[in-house]
């Protein structure tokens, strides 16, 4: 099958390992020897509930999730969590500080790209607290309007006792990513967070979840991710939630907090072992297959080193092409994402020429997001080093032929 399938560099939903897809075909017909397909079997069957438990163990072990945190599977995608984190974290804050007015209650947002901006829009729409922008990277960009980098630590300004502190680890559209080396100026500035321990730190990890370690995972209140980049089909959303953030939202509502829709309540989902209502069974199954495979390959450390090399190769080709005047990175050096490399091809119609040439060589889905244009090379876990070498060779050839 490998020879005939094109390489899918899409940004999500994105490539899945071929061996997993082949295995999933079998499971669609006969799940774990039951004779019933995975899309047909009850989510309360012992075979399926044990798979959910297994998936959780797989994530907990590979990511080293501490016992202070629960893992919850839900639906609604990253966008669903833009709402759910606000509602659950405001409920928590209401229980801690019942007497604050909505103006006094603050939610801190770090804006580094299109997804964090969307999260801000939803937070403002829901209300219940004032939104404070800890930093907006556009204000630090070259043209004062693009998301082209992670701001310097001195540009961040956090509130004193916010209900949540929100950031997006990897902005897929804009190709900007926090570094996971704490010594770099493009890492998340943990050292600037307010004193006093249990931070209400919320992170959208949708586009890099399971691709490398999560720095200071224990210091996060909520980490969430849609599955459709590195670990499975769309439809599954994974949450890692610190237990003090799993609160009685109805008790908070009695004190004036916004009532939380039942499927969004962390407590409802956690208490029901992620089976309060019917979960996205097929996505859960495929995510399980993907993580079983990851475990055999060496887990998160394996992917961290492979993904690091893949990104480095593509950024090197980009830089060499920039020196020849063929490409222009959309992102400042040091802020580029490992998962989504974004750039323009310079010249009239040059993006289209680049895309057509890639397509002819069996490399697809390289077109940049409609809002920013250009090229976007997504390098999620299922993209192999060999496939990365193919796009790198093409980038080099294209630059040589057009310079
Ligand atoms: N956050 C990030 C970082 C994303 O890349 C995306 C898009 N996949 C979303 C949130 C929105 O996710 P969804 O489409 O699953 O709602």
pLDDT digits (tens, 9 = 90+) for 28-66: 999 999 999 999 999 999 999 999 999 999 999 999 999
The DSSP code for 138 is G
**pLDDT for res 3:** 56
Identify the CA nearest to 93 among candidates 258, 203, 240, 241.
Answer: 258
Q: Terminus-to-terminus CA distance in the chain, angstroms?
A: 36
76 lines ligand 1 (CB under 6 A): no
Residue nearest to atom 2 of ligand 1 (CA): 206
Distance separating alpha carbons of residues 258 and 129, to the nearest angstrom: 11
Task: With residue 121 as reference, give the H or E element that holds it.
Answer: helix 114-126
Task: Please check whether residue 342 is in contact with residue 175, taking contact to mean a CB–CB distance below 8 angstroms.
Answer: yes
Span from the CA of 80 to the centroid of ligand 1 (angstroms): 9
Mutate to test the pocket of ligand 1, among 226, 227, 378 (most ligand atoms within 8 A of CB): 226
The DSSP code for 140 is G
Span from the CA of 100 to the centroid of ligand 1 (angstroms): 32
77 lines ligand 1 (CB under 6 A): yes
**pLDDT for res 347:** 95
CA triplet 234, 7, 148: central angle to 5 degrees? Answer: 70
CA distances from 387 to 20, 101, 136, 209 (A): 17, 54, 35, 21
10 lines ligand 1 (CB under 6 A): no
226 lines ligand 1 (CB under 6 A): yes
Distance separating alpha carbons of residues 330 and 303, to the nearest angstrom: 25
115 lines ligand 1 (CB under 6 A): yes
Query: Which two structure tokens, joined as six digits, stand for 28?
Result: 């669609």
207 lines ligand 1 (CB under 6 A): yes
Span from the CA of 172 to the centroid of ligand 1 (angstroms): 8
Distance separating alpha carbons of residues 379 and 368, to the nearest angstrom: 14
Q: What DSSP line would sit under 221-262, residue for residue?
A: SEEEEESTTTTS-TT-EEEEEEGGG---HHHHHHTTPPPPPG
280 lines ligand 1 (CB under 6 A): no
Span from the CA of 77 to the centroid of ligand 1 (angstroms): 7
232 lines ligand 1 (CB under 6 A): no
* Preceding amide of 31 cis, omega within 30: no
Query: Which two structure tokens, joined as six digits, stand for 186?
Result: 């493009």
Distance separating alpha carbons of residues 290 and 231, to the nearest angstrom: 6
> If you count them, how many residues does the chain have?
403
Backbone angles phi, psi at 336, to 5 degrees: -70, 145
The atom number, within ligand 1, closest to the CA of 81 reads 16
The atom number, within ligand 1, closest to the CA of 12 reads 8
The atom number, within ligand 1, closest to the CA of 76 reads 16
**Could you count the other beta carbons within 10 Å of the beta carbon of residue 251?**
13
CA triplet 239, 244, 250: central angle to 5 degrees? Answer: 90
The DSSP code for 367 is B
Per the confidence metrics, is the pTM higher than 0.85?
yes
Backbone angles phi, psi at 209, to 5 degrees: -55, 130
Residues in the chain where the model's pLDDT stays below 70: 1-3
Contacts of 120 (CB under 8 A, 6+ apart): 109, 111, 131, 133
The atom number, within ligand 1, closest to the CA of 172 reads 5
HSE toward the beta carbon, residue 49, CA cutoff 13 A: 9
CA triplet 8, 383, 338: central angle to 5 degrees? Answer: 105
Q: Please, what sign has the CA dihedral across residues 253, 257, 262, 268?
A: negative
Task: Please check whether residue 213 is in contact with residue 364, taking contact to mean a CB–CB distance below 8 angstroms.
Answer: no
HSE toward the beta carbon, residue 200, CA cutoff 13 A: 25
Span from the CA of 115 to the centroid of ligand 1 (angstroms): 7
CA triplet 382, 173, 170: central angle to 5 degrees? Answer: 65
Task: Please check whether residue 268 is in contact with residue 80, taking contact to mean a CB–CB distance below 8 angstroms.
Answer: no
């Amino acid at each position: 099958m490998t020879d005939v399938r094109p390489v899918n560099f899409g940004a999500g939903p994105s490539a899945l390992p071929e061996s997993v897809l082949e295995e999933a075909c079998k499971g669609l017909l006969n799940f774990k020897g039951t004779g019933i397909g995975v899309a047909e079997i009850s989510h309360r069957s012992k075979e399926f509930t044990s798979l959910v438990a297994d998936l959780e163990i797989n994530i907990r072990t590979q990511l080293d999730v501490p016992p202070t945190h629960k893992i919850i599977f839900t639906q609604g995608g990253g966008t669903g969590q833009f709402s759910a984190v606000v509602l659950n974290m405001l409920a928590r804050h209401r229980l801690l500080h019942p007497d604050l007015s909505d103006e006094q209650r603050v939610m801190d947002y770090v804006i580094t790209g299109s997804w964090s901006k969307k999260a801000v829009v939803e937070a403002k729409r829901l209300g219940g607290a004032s939104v404070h922008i800890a930093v907006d990277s556009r204000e630090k960009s070259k043209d004062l309007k693009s998301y082209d980098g992670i701001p310097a630590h001195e540009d961040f300004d956090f509130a004193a006792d916010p209900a949540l502190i929100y950031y997006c680890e990897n902005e897929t559209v804009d190709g900007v990513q926090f570094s996971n080396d704490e010594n770099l100026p493009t890492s998340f500035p943990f050292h600037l967070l307010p004193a006093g321990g249990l931070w209400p730190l919320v992170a959208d990890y949708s586009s890099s979840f399971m691709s490398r370690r999560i720095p200071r995972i224990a210091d996060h209140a909520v980490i969430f991710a849609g599955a459709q980049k590195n670990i499975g089909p769309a439809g599954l959303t994974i949450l890692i939630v610190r237990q003090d953030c799993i609160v009685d939202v109805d008790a908070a509502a009695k004190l004036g907090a916004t009532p939380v829709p039942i499927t969004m309540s962390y407590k409802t989902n956690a208490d029901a072992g992620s089976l309060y209502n019917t979960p996205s069974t097929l996505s859960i199954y495929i995510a399980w297959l993907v993580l079983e495979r990851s475990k055999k390959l060496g887990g998160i450390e394996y992917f961290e080193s492979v993904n690091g090399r893949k990104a480095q190769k593509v950024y090197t080709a980009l830089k060499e092409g920039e020196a020849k005047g063929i490409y222009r990175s959309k992102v400042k050096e040091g802020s580029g994402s490992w998962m989504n490399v974004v750039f323009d091809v310079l010249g009239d119609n040059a993006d289209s020429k680049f895309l057509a040439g890639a397509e002819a060589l069996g490399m697809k889905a390289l077109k940049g997001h409609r809002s920013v244009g250009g090229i976007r090379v997504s390098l999620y876990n299922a993209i192999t080093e060999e496939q990365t070498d193919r796009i790198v060779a093409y980038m080099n050839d294209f630059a040589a032929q057009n310079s």
